[in-house]
Structure 1
Amino acid sequence: MKKICISLILVLLYSSLCFSEVPKWLVNLEKEFPTKNYISAVGSGNSEYEAKQDALTKLSSYFSVSVESKTNAHNSQTRNNSTYSTNSSIDQDTSIFTNSDLFTIHYTPSYFDKEKKKYSVCAYIGREEASDIINGQIAFLYSLYSHNIMFIEYETDDFRKILIMNDALYNSDRIFKLNEYLRFIDSERALYWDDYISQVNEVKNEMRQLKRNNPVSVFSTGDYSEQIKNIVSEILTENGYVIARNADYKINANTTSIISSQISKSHEIYSTTPSIYISLEDNSETISSCLLSSERISSYTKETLTGMALYALEDLLRNNLTQNLLR
């Protein structure tokens, strides 16, 4: 019995020493996660969560992006004319998110330093795994671009060509950014896409020239007509379009913001649901159109409501004009 007790004590002592042993990645990160195969970073903090966040922040510096923790990543955006969603289901509980892509991140078990009373965690990305993810995303986005751009050879109208190019180039910035990441992770694989990206840049340059050669006129009717005309003109100019009087192509904006009122608890409340119908036309027909509507807004005074309605309309235009009308 005495021998059994001694054996158990020895086992417990051995287990304790094993669990308190400093992990190899904390002693020599390069040896445990060689740069050739991994991108890694060690973080520390007062809790395991803080240590993970610190590791993620350091890891993100490699890509100049922000980090975010999620269990299941689901991204959804809704437009007035169409709805689209992107779903990403990931095994790990944390990923690096940018406006265009994600990398799956792995973690080591945390280590607690009793003397410093700090937790440490290593976050790492496998280069091969990340390369496969990015390469797949570039291939998918470029296939969308190729599918859309092939219709341009059948179009004779310059402005309709611009719309096709806008649609094809919608994801071009994502392709460029993804290829930058791929070049950092797997430079040889990134070289494969260089010729394709050069083609995309050529189309962007051609579109800029078409915009300069095909000016548009802006007209506005209805509520806040002068302000809406100025906002639309400003957005178009920011996106490379040329504004001119009596141009062959015209953008017409008609704004509606009917104000209603009701009595509630001795207060009169004013409300409206501002909307704007915009069309792009040439001398013979409507090329494109969209209807943008805001949520219902309310205020105790008409003056405040007017300002809120105009702000809502400007927000609608800045977020939707080029995406919904000019694509």
Structure 2
Amino acid sequence: MMKRISIFFSFLLINYICFADIPLWLKQPEKVFPQNEYIRAMGEGTSEKLAQNSALTGISQFFNTKVEVLTVAVKESNAIISEDKQRFDSKQSFSQIAKITSTAEFFCVYFTEPYYDKKSDKYSVLAYINRSEALKIYKSRITAIMDSIEEYESYSKNEIEPFLILSLLKKEQTLAVLAEKYIQSEILLVPSDSEVYKKDLQTISHIKPQVDKLKTQMTFSINMIQKEPVYNPVFSTIASILEKDGFAYSISGAKYQIIVDIDCIEESYEAGQFVRPSVDIAIVNNSGNGVYTYSKAFPRIGSKTTEQAYTRAVTKINQDLKDNFLQE
């Protein structure tokens, strides 16, 4: 009888020690990180990193970050952490892949020390955000962005050249996307702030219609200084960029002319034929005044023949234009 009692108490003691070893944030998260003060999410994984990213997935869902399920066999998750914010792109592998399709910014994200459970062979981590601390950052950044939007708006009202007005509005539009994201995130933290930012959201909502309307009033023609057929793809690339950006291309009667000057310096070596390409682009209005310029010099490009070198150079120019031309 005494032996049974001894075994029973030993069993209770072992379980008590194991339970006592579990951190309070895991046993009673509400007690350590109450929801009225913190945003929190628990994560599990076979490594500390996977546990952290699992917790971040939970945080991202609070901020309505879109999640897409993929079937690509990726097993790692990437989290880039800076002092005051976190960019998170999850590629966490289970039976399928849960990938956060948009980049989310989480301010003031912290993690508890990971807890390792020998029985399950898994790590547990709790990610948390102090609501008050995050709110201060959101408010300061929203204020700074809205001040910049107001400044650009003031400049655009004093400008008479449509292309330059559009450039200013596009800067506003870029900032507006960021401001709206921050405002919506803050409203998730404090729903009553929807009234505080009502005016700012109205200001933001008016920017894109202004941009779209102005674009429809602007037409472009393309003037290639070099008429050689090898440069025809550059013409096509610029035309496609205009179309993609919502502009109209016109052979005649255009309000703006895009003048494209491409120069290729030929060089011959034992290794092959080389060219050093450069491109200069100017956009001028009907009065002959320049409203936009773009220039780029490229490193030497070579191939077996001069013709092949030119083809490779044009390919390089086209890719650069797709990445940078008319980008503010």
TM-score category (smaller protein):
0.7 to 0.9
Q: Is the 8 A contact 1:96 1:104 kept in 2?
A: no
Output the CA distance in 1 between the equivalents of 2:132 and 2:311.
53
Output the CA distance in 2 between the equivalents of 1:157 and 1:254.
24
2:279 to 264, 276, 294: 276
Output the CA distance in 2 between the equivalents of 1:53 and 1:239.
36
Name the residue aligned to 1:235: 241
Name the residue aligned to 1:257: 264
The answer as to 2:86 corresponding to 1:95 is yes
The range that moved more, 105-114 or 218-227, is 218-227
2:204 maps to amino acid: V
Output the CA distance in 1 between the equivalents of 2:160 and 2:283.
17
Name the residue aligned to 1:78: none
The range that moved more, 144-153 or 214-223, is 214-223
Output the CA distance in 2 between the equivalents of 1:294 and 1:193.
47
Q: Is the 8 A contact 1:275 1:291 kept in 2?
A: yes
Q: Where do 1:1-327 residues align within 5 Å?
A: 17=17, 21-63=21-63, 64=65, 68-70=78-80, 73=82, 90=83, 95-97=86-88, 101-222=105-226, 224-246=230-252, 247-263=254-270, 268-284=271-287, 285-300=289-304, 302=306, 305-324=309-328
2:269 maps to amino acid: Q
Q: Is the 8 A contact 1:138 1:175 kept in 2?
A: yes
Output the CA distance in 1 between the equivalents of 2:104 and 2:284.
33
Deviation at 1:279, TM superposition (A): 0.9
Output the CA distance in 2 between the equivalents of 1:111 and 1:161.
56
Output the CA distance in 2 between the equivalents of 1:19 and 1:217.
75
Alignment deviations for residues 150-185 of structure 1 (CA, whole Å, 9 cap, x no partner): 022222333332223223333222222222322222
SS of 2:211's equivalent in the other structure is: helix
The range that moved more, 270-279 or 103-112, is 270-279
Structure 1: any 5+ residue segments left out of the alignment? Answer: 1-12, 74-89
Name the residue aligned to 1:5: none
2:320 maps to amino acid: L
Output the CA distance in 1 between the equivalents of 2:108 and 2:164.
40
Q: For residues 111 and 164 of structure 1, do their structure 2 counterparts lie closer, same or farther at Cα, with a shift above 3 Å needed?
A: closer
Q: Is the 8 A contact 2:80 2:87 kept in 1?
A: no
Alignment deviations for residues 269-296 of structure 1 (CA, whole Å, 9 cap, x no partner): 4444433211110122112212133444
Output the CA distance in 2 between the equivalents of 1:107 and 1:283.
59
Report % sequence identity.
25
Alignment deviations for residues 282-324 of structure 1 (CA, whole Å, 9 cap, x no partner): 1221122121334444445556544432332222212221225
SS of 1:257's equivalent in the other structure is: strand
Structure 2: any 5+ residue segments left out of the alignment? Answer: 1-12, 68-76, 89-101
Deviation at 1:261, TM superposition (A): 3.4
Deviation at 1:17, TM superposition (A): 4.1
Q: Is the 8 A contact 1:96 1:103 kept in 2?
A: no
Output the CA distance in 2 between the equivalents of 1:112 and 1:100.
28
Q: Is the 8 A contact 2:38 2:131 kept in 1?
A: yes
Output the CA distance in 2 between the equivalents of 1:270 and 1:189.
65
TM-score, normalised with respect to structure 1:
0.76
Deviation at 1:196, TM superposition (A): 1.8
Aligned residue pairs total 288
Q: For residues 203 and 48 of structure 1, do their structure 2 counterparts lie closer, same or farther at Cα, with a shift above 3 Å needed?
A: closer
Q: For residues 99 and 172 of structure 1, do their structure 2 counterparts lie closer, same or farther at Cα, with a shift above 3 Å needed?
A: farther
Output the CA distance in 2 between the equivalents of 1:296 and 1:39.
54
SS of 2:197's equivalent in the other structure is: helix
1:244 maps to amino acid: S
TM-score, normalised with respect to structure 2:
0.75
2:215 maps to amino acid: K
The range that moved more, 187-196 or 114-123, is 187-196
Alignment deviations for residues 242-285 of structure 1 (CA, whole Å, 9 cap, x no partner): 1122212111122233343322xxxx244444332111101221
